[in-house]
Chain A
Amino acid sequence: MLLIRCPYCDETLPELEFAYAGEAHIARALDPSSVTDEDWRDFLFIRSNAKGPHYERWRHVHGCGRFFNAVRDTVTDRFLTTYKAGEAKPDLETLTGDAR
C-alpha cells in the first residue's frame, strides 16, 4: 500500500484515503475556440506516461477533500514529494527521494 503525505493535512496516510487524478500541470487553453484539433488532442488525450519521475494529481477524498500534486517514480512507486495545487513544478534535481 502506498503511503501518501497530504500537503494540506500535513499527515502521511494510506493510499485508501486518496484518489488518483491523472497527470498534473496540464493546463486548459484560455481561449478554447481558437484551439486546433491537434492541440485539443494533446490536451485531452496525449499523456507523458513517464517511466520514472511523474508529475501527477491526487485528491484526499476521505480527508480534507482537496486536490494536490505529487512527484512519484513510476518504476519504484516511491513518492519524491507532494505539494499544494497551484505551486510551481518542483525541480527534479533537488528532490532527494523520500516524501515521508
Chain B
Amino acid sequence: MTHFSALSLLKNAISGNKDWTEQWPDAQPKTEYDVIIVGAGGHGLGCAYYLAKEHGITNVAVIEKGWLGGGNTGRNTTIIRSNYLYDESARLYDHALDLWEGLSQELNYNVMFSRRGVMMLAHNVHDVQSFQRHVHANRLNGVDNTWLTAQQAKEFCPPLNISPNARYPVMGAALQRRAGTARHDAVAWGYARAAAARGVDIIQNCPVTAIRRGPTGAVEGVETGKGFIKARKVAVSAAGHTSVVMDSAGVRMPLESYPLQALVSEPVKPIFPCVVMSNSVHAYISQSDKGELVIGSGTDQYTSYSQRGGLPLIEHTVAAICEVFPIFNRMRMLRKWGGIVDVTPDRSAILGKTPVQGLYVNCGWGTGGFKATPGAAHTLAWTVAKDEPHKINAPFTLERFTTGRLIDEAAAAAVAH
C-alpha cells in the first residue's frame, strides 16, 4: 500500500499515474478467524480497523454480500451532526464527531470531512420551543449548538426564504457549526485500506447465509456463499438485513426495515454553503463538492427490502424544498435511490453484546447511521475485543426493550424520521 503524501502524489504524477498499487487486496476466506464482521459498510470496516489498531486483533474478516460500501454507506446524504437531546445519544454522537475531525489524518485517506454547519429550521412556536430546549440540553452536555434568529439564519444560508408570507415561515433556527458532511464512499474506502494494511481480510460478493451456534449456544462461525468459516466472535453490522442475519442465530430483533430515499440534482456552481434540515416541512438539503444538491427526507411508510421506495415521497420532499428555497424550483433532478434502514421502536441504535455468547450487534441506526460511523465502529471494537460494554455504548443494549429503559429520540424528535 502506498502512503499518500504530497511527495507521492507528485512522483506518481510525473510517472503518469501508472505506478499506483491496489488500495487493498480482494481476499479469499481462510478457514478460521478470531473475529468475523458481517457487512462491509463504514461501520463494519471501521470496527475491523479499530480492532486491529487499538486492540491488536488482526486475524479478522469483514464479509460482504455485495460490494464494499454498496449498502447504506453509499446511499445516504452524508450529513454529520451530534445535536441529539438525550445524554446517552449526545455522548455517542459527539464521540463520533470527535473522531470525524481527525479521521483523514488517522486513515491517511481524505474523507473530505467539511465542518460547514447543520442548521435546523423552526417554522412554528412548538419548533422554536423544542429547538431552544435542544440548544440548552446540548450545551449542558458540551455539544456545540446555537440559536439563530430568522435574519441570522438568512445570513448564514443566503438561498433561504424567510419571507413572513411563506407557507412555512422561518421563525429561527438551531445551528451546529461543528457539524457538516463527509465523502461517504471515501469513508468506506479509507477504513478498508487502513484495515487491510493491518492484516484484515475483506471478502466481497460472499453472502453470510446463517450464523452457526454450538451445543453450548455460543457462536461457532458463519455459513457463507463460500462455505463455513469458523470464528468464536461474530459482529453483525448489516443495517437493513440485521434482523434476517440475527434470526439465523435464533435472536429476534426489535427492528423494522424501511426504504429511505434520497435524490440529487444536476450539478451547479457553489450556491449552498451549509446543510439545512426542516423537520416540519420534512426535508433536508446540502450541496456536494461535485455541485449536486443532495436532498432527502423521511422513510416510506411501509417496510420493504426493495432499495427503491415510492415516488409520492419524492414529490412530497421536492415540494418541501421548493417551498423553503424557491430559488431551486427549476432545478432538474438527476438520480434518486433508496437504502434499507433498520429502525428501532425508540429510534436509537442497538450496539454491543447479545444474549448469545460471542455474538455482537451494531444496528438500529435508522435514518441516521452515517454520522455515527467512527463512534459506533470504535466502541463496538472495544466491546468485541474485551467482551464488555464501552462506557459510551453501554446504554444502547438490546435489554432496554425488556427493562423499558429506552433512549427515546423518537419522542425527542431531534431528527427528521
Residues of A near any B CB (own CB < 8 A) = 1-2, 15-16, 19-20, 23, 37-38, 40-42, 44-49, 51, 54, 56, 72, 74-77
Q: Is the CB of B402 within 8 A of A46?
A: no
Q: Which of A15, A19, A56 has the most CB of B within 10 A?
A: A15
- Chain A residue with the shortest CB-CB distance to B309: A77
Q: Say which size band chain B's interface belongs to.
A: 20 to 34
Q: Which of B253, B302, B345, B401 has the most CB of A within 10 A?
A: B302
B279 within 8 A of A: no
Q: Is the CB of B312 within 8 A of A15?
A: yes
Asked if A20 meets B253 with Cβ closer than 8 Å, knowing A15-B310, A41-B401, A51-B244, the reply is no
A54 to B308, CA, bound (A): 17
A72 to B306, CA, bound (A): 12
Point out the residue from A41, A56, A72 that lies within 8 Å of B402, measured CB to CB: A41
Q: Which of A1, A23, A56 has the most CB of B within 10 A?
A: A1
Point out the residue from B253, B301, B403 that lies within 8 Å of A49, measured CB to CB: B253
Q: Is the CB of B306 within 8 A of A74?
A: yes
A66 to B226, CA, bound (A): 49
Instruction: Given contacts A45-B345, A54-B303, A77-B306, list 8 more A-B pairs with CB under 8 A.
Output: A41-B254, A41-B402, A45-B254, A46-B253, A49-B253, A56-B303, A74-B305, A77-B304
B311 within 8 A of A: yes
How many A-B pairs with Cβ below 8 Å?
A: 62
A27 to B254, CA, bound (A): 17
Q: Is the CB of B402 within 8 A of A76?
A: no
Within 8 Å CB of B306, what residues of A? Answer: 74-77
Q: Is the CB of B303 within 8 A of A49?
A: yes
Within 8 Å CB of A54, what residues of B? Answer: 303
Asked if A1 meets B402 with Cβ closer than 8 Å, knowing A49-B255, A77-B306, the reply is no
Point out the residue from B244, B252, B302, B403 that lies within 8 Å of A20, measured CB to CB: B302
Least CB distance, A45 to chain B, in whole angstroms:
4
Least CB distance, A73 to chain B, in whole angstroms:
9
B127 within 8 A of A: no
A54 to B304, CA, bound (A): 9
- Chain A residue with the shortest CB-CB distance to B345: A45
Least CB distance, B355 to chain A, in whole angstroms:
11
Q: Is the CB of A19 within 8 A of B301?
A: yes
- B283-309, CB < 8 A from A: 301-306, 308
A90 to B152, CA, bound (A): 58
Least CB distance, A60 to chain B, in whole angstroms:
14
Within 8 Å CB of B310, what residues of A? Answer: 1-2, 15
Asked if A51 meets B305 with Cβ closer than 8 Å, knowing A1-B311, A1-B312, A45-B345, the reply is yes
Within 8 Å CB of A72, what residues of B? Answer: 302
- A sample of 7 cross-chain residue pairs with beta-carbon separation below 8 angstroms, ordered by A number, consists of A19-B301, A47-B243, A49-B303, A51-B305, A56-B303, A75-B306, A77-B304
Within 8 Å CB of B253, what residues of A? Answer: 46, 49
- Chain B residue with the shortest CB-CB distance to A38: B402
